[in-house]
Amino acid sequence: MHLYEVLRRPLITEKNTMLQAQGKYAFEIARESNKQQIKQAVEKAFKVKVLAVNVMTVPGKTRRVGRQQVLTQSWKKAIVTLKPGDKIEFFEGV
């Protein structure tokens, strides 16, 4: 897997905005990626130093489509902790 395929999109929520004060940033990632690939991808894309990567699988939810109930697809997210003093400018001003 290429490093630019690992990060899908940044997650910008109220909870993740509060985590930015601690130097933690959240991303939706590819399901087949691992912690080493995530660390390399963030360091290469944003030119920062990553200290830790926490990965979790978010289960799908049940949704209604007409009379049927369907299950949305589960996805994977990562919370990346950066070295103190580093920050990702992509998230600034949100």
72: in domain: yes
Q: What is the chain's pLDDT, residue by residue, as a tens digit (94 residues)?
A: 888 899 999 999 999 999 999 999 999 999 999 999 999 999 999 999 999 999 999 999 999 999 999 999 999 999 999 999 998 887 666 5
pTM across the whole model: 0.88
Domain count, the chain: 1
Please choose, from the candidates 75, 49, 48, the residue with its C-alpha nearest in 3D space to the C-alpha of residue 61: 75
The two tokens of residue 30 are 């590819």
93: in domain: no
31: in domain: yes
91: in domain: no
78: in domain: yes
CATH code assigned at 66: 3.30.70.330
62: in domain: yes
The domain in which residue 33 lies consists of 3-86
The two tokens of residue 51 are 């200290």
92: in domain: no
